[in-house]
Amino acid sequence: MTEPEIIARVENGVGRISLNRPKAIHALNRAMCEAMTEALLAWREDAAVQSVLIDHAGERGFCAGGDIRMIAESGAGDASEARAFFLAEYRLNHLMFDYPKPITAIVDGIVMGGGVGISEPAAIRIATERTTYAMPETGIGLFPDVGGGWFLPRLPGQTGVWLALTGARLKAADTVELGIHTHFVPAIDIDGFKAALLANPQNPLEEANRWVCPTEPEEAPLNPHREAIDRLFAFDTVEEIFSALDAEGTDWASAQLAILKTKSPQSLKVTLRQLRAGAALTSFADNMAMEYALGGRVVRTHDFQEGVRAVIVDKDNAPKWSPADLSGVTEATLDALFAPLPDNEKWTPLP
Active site residue 328: no
Active site residue 66: yes
Q: One of 114, 115, 141, 295 is an active-site residue; which one?
A: 114
CA distance 98 to 50: 15
- DSSP letters, 120-141, are TTSSEEEE-TT-EEE--GGGGT
CA distance 279 to 136: 20
Displacement of CA 299 from its chain's centroid (Å): 17
Contacts of 154 (CB under 8 A, 6+ apart): 160, 279
Containing 110, the helix (H) or strand (E) segment is strand 110-112
Q: One of 65, 66, 109, 278 is an active-site residue; which one?
A: 66
Q: One of 55, 145, 174, 207 is an active-site residue; which one?
A: 145
Closest by CA to 284, choosing from 96, 49, 119, is 96
Helix (H, G, I), strand (E, B) or coil at 171: strand
How many residues would you count in the chain? 351
CA count, 13 A, side-chain hemisphere, 44: 13
Active site residue 145: yes
CB distance 311 to 86 below 8 Å: no
CA angle 177, 106, 118 (to 5 degrees): 90
Residues forming a β-bridge with 16: 9, 53
CA distance 19 to 25: 9
Helix (H, G, I), strand (E, B) or coil at 328: helix
Active site residue 114: yes
CA count, 13 A, side-chain hemisphere, 95: 22
Cα-Cα-Cα-Cα dihedral sign, residues 114, 7, 81, 83: negative
Q: One of 55, 67, 89, 137 is an active-site residue; which one?
A: 137
CB distance 197 to 204 below 8 Å: yes
Kindly list the catalytic residues: 66, 114, 137, 145
